[in-house]
Amino acid sequence: MPLHEVIPPAAIARRVAELGAEIDARLPGGPLTVVGVLRGAFIFTADLVRAIPRELTVDFLGVRSYGDATVSSGVVEITSDLGAPIAGRHVLLVEDIVDTGLTLRYLLDLLRARGPASLHVCALLAKPAPAGNAVALDFVGFPAPDGFVVGYGLDGRQLYRNLPGINRLAE
């Protein structure tokens, strides 16, 4: 399937460095846990934590959306839970791409119920939120390119996660 690189690795690296500094400046002091959403955000999370110059712990939440891989139903199955409680900790949730925001809304409700001191969201890519369905994103890497994108952790039928840049996948 033809791939077309739309965000090159160097542009991602520059933006990740900026995001790390922004996150460090804006998040309250105190214990921080960065929670990456598996599997799409694994590479972004790995790069982002190295750009946040403060003490933190890293954890992961494994999720699987039901239904068609390219259309979100908002019904999310947790395939692997956090390794440690987040009560009283500042939490930064790291997502790969936010489309309708349904997946994110579900995850935020789940984490909020566990009593974190604060809860912020950083998404690598975000599509414009449809009216009435907006989820507040605190930090965004890039506006999502048109079409279905893969690479830098994001998959198309489990492939392409290892591409270093963001690519549009043309069917």
List residues binding ligand 5GP (CB under 6 A).
Answer: 40, 72, 74, 95-104, 148-150, 154-156
Exactly one of 59, 99, 138, 155 is catalytic; which is it?
A: 99
CB of 51 to ligand 5GP, least distance (A): 21
- Residue 109 annotated as catalytic: no
Residue nearest to ligand 5GP (CB): 72
Smaller CB separation from ligand 5GP, 101 or 116: 101
The residues near 89 (Cβ < 8 Å, ≥ 6 apart) are 30, 31, 32, 33, 116, 117
Cis-peptide, bond into residue 89, ω within 30° of zero: no
- Strands (E) in the chain, as ranges, are 3-7, 32-38, 57-65, 76-80, 90-98, 118-126, 139-143, 149-150, 166-169
CB of 10 to ligand 5GP, least distance (A): 21
Smaller CB separation from ligand 5GP, 60 or 89: 60
CB neighbourhood size of 57 (10 A):
14
Report the residue count for the chain: 171
DSSP 8-class letter at 154: B
CB of 16 to ligand 5GP, least distance (A): 18
Smaller CB separation from ligand 5GP, 116 or 156: 156
Smaller CB separation from ligand 5GP, 89 or 156: 156
Sheet with 149-150: strands ordered across: 3-7, 166-169, 149-150
| Catalytic residue list | 99
